[in-house]
Structure 1
Amino acid sequence: MSAVQLFDHLWQDYITRLCPSADKVHQLLQENEPLINDHIALRTFRSPQLGLEVLMQPFLAEGYQVGGEYRFVAKKLYARHLQHPDPKLPKVFISELLVGELSMPAQKLIHQLLDSVPQVTVPSFLWQGRPWSLTYTDYQILAAESEYAGWLAAHGYGANHFTVSVNQLRAFEEVTQVNAHLRSHGFAINEAGGEVKGSPEVLLEQSSTLADKVEVSFDDVTAMIPGGFYEFAKRYVMSDGNLYQGFVEASADKIFESTHRQ
């Protein structure tokens, strides 16, 4: 399966299951040329069977390389971003929850989920959704300790966001202008850490919508919980004349909060 096919599958799952409003955002920002996707983000639990190393493999097989690594101490996360020699292909930001740093009850719950998963099929598990059974009560227990853990337990695997490259847009030069345009059409912007995360000084500015509320079927009930969101990124030129391709930990930390329960 080619990299383009991988992203097509991820996009279809994203707009169908996790972030239906993304299709409208796409239409609001679409110009003459197809929108450039700066990056997507995937989430997982650190584990031998489904950890970051496993999620990386389908992308590495298509020529992607590790571009950087990041640590989010407060959220107990580790992440890497992958990038491709072809600049037209989006970067992939993969994070994993450091399960061993959670409380013992949360660890036990997560290990029960992971142990129930049969051998994964690569690469389709990347958009397979939740591969385990989960009650709403257990979702709430995990989310109370880690919003990330609750989100991942409830939704499973899929892109929690795609990202429009603001550099490409002709109608808007600044991230704030994109935010204002979306607000005028009824979208809420994640204001954790400010509506724009980052600055020209750190070579990257980012913003995002708040996650859609989507219906999820648990073992015991069906509930509306935060799903996916849409991000917007503006990159700045480095001293060597190339656009910065990495990520800023302080900014990404607040982008994670787009999926927090309000």
Structure 2
Amino acid sequence: MKPESLNQTLKMMWKNYLQLNPDAQNIYQLFAERNSKLINDHIALRTFDLPQIDLHRIATPFINAGYVTAGEYHFPQKKLFAQHFQHPDPTQPKLFISQLLTGQFSTSLQGIVRQLTAHIDASEPLLKEFCYSGCHWPIQYSVYRQLEQESEYAAWVYAMGFQPNHFTLLINALKSHPDLNAVNRFLIAQGYTLNDSGGQIKGGPSDLLEQSSTLANLIPIEFEEGIYNVPGCYYEFAYRYPQADGSLFHGFVAESADKIFQSTDRQRG
């Protein structure tokens, strides 16, 4: 991908994400009215670990655009593995790509996921459009509920397909709010509900990273049996602390990310 192609891809990812999380546009506008510049810290993508659609395949178009692997993270409880990728141009957002370790789940879940990949041509994940291409398979609410019993993550990918799970506002760049506490208070005053799993703020100065997020709203999705409300996407907020050399920490903290993942759990309904 050339720079202009990468920028267009990122714009399309944002557009697609807003369709599943219209609150994000309103929140973005609230901060844009109070700040001359907003920076997107990172974008998160989800997938399964099958070779045809694993995180390395999902990352390929971005690696071709100059992104490099910059860290890896393990989530034993949720049975996930993730890597984050950075671009040489610091104005470009980081990518956080996670995958479900399907081999650690039931044979039933593994069979369902294998069936899903049969709907995807081997070349498709290598296209820059794939990361916002949505579902490539028919979806049944009964299957969604079955997956949800084992893994909220698996159910989310099944219903939403391939598209950004969340975007992230970098708090360091804000002039209007000095820290994450101030941002959280502002969002709550505006009527937004935050993920309080592990506390509203995950991480701290010793981690060099603090994170918070809204809860994913329940949105209507058309399944074969009809329309049902399921968790969509959420908006994340990150405050990064300087390292010993004075540069901001650019990695992630698995313990904090583990709690952030719960922003798409079926918190309500």
TM-score range, shorter chain: over 0.9
Deviations 1:42-82 (A, max 9, x none): 00001111110111111111111100000000101000000
The CA deviation at 1:38 is 0.3
State how 1:1-262 maps to structure 2 within 5 Å. 1=1, 2-16=5-19, 18-30=20-32, 31-119=34-122, 120=124, 122-262=127-267
The CA deviation at 1:146 is 0.2
Equivalent-residue separation in structure 1 for 2:53 and 2:222 (angstroms)? 22
- Over the matched positions of the two proteins, sequence identity in percent amounts to 46
User: For residue 222 of structure 1, what is the amino acid of its counterpart?
Assistant: I
The CA deviation at 1:23 is 0.3
TM-score, normalised by the number of residues in structure 1: 0.97
> Please, which moves more after superposition, 142-151 or 170-179?
170-179
Deviations 1:20-51 (A, max 9, x none): 11000101111342310000000000111111
Equivalent-residue separation in structure 2 for 1:211 and 1:112 (angstroms)? 27
Equivalent-residue separation in structure 2 for 1:201 and 1:48 (angstroms)? 37
Deviations 1:133-166 (A, max 9, x none): 1200000000110000000000001111000000
Structure 2 gap ranges (5+): none
SS at match of 1:159: coil
**Aligned residues of 2:37 and 2:174 also touching (Cα < 8 A):** no
> Please, which moves more after superposition, 161-170 or 29-38?
29-38
**Aligned residues of 1:204 and 1:248 also touching (Cα < 8 A):** yes
**Aligned residues of 2:48 and 2:54 also touching (Cα < 8 A):** yes
Equivalent-residue separation in structure 1 for 2:49 and 2:62 (angstroms)? 18
**Aligned residues of 2:35 and 2:176 also touching (Cα < 8 A):** no
Equivalent-residue separation in structure 2 for 1:212 and 1:7 (angstroms)? 23
SS at match of 1:183: helix
Equivalent-residue separation in structure 2 for 1:160 and 1:212 (angstroms)? 12
* C-alpha RMSD of the superposition: 1.0
TM-score, normalised by the number of residues in structure 2: 0.95
User: For residue 88 of structure 2, what is the amino acid of its counterpart?
Assistant: P
The CA deviation at 1:213 is 1.6
Equivalent-residue separation in structure 1 for 2:134 and 2:37 (angstroms)? 27
How many residue pairs match? The answer is: 261
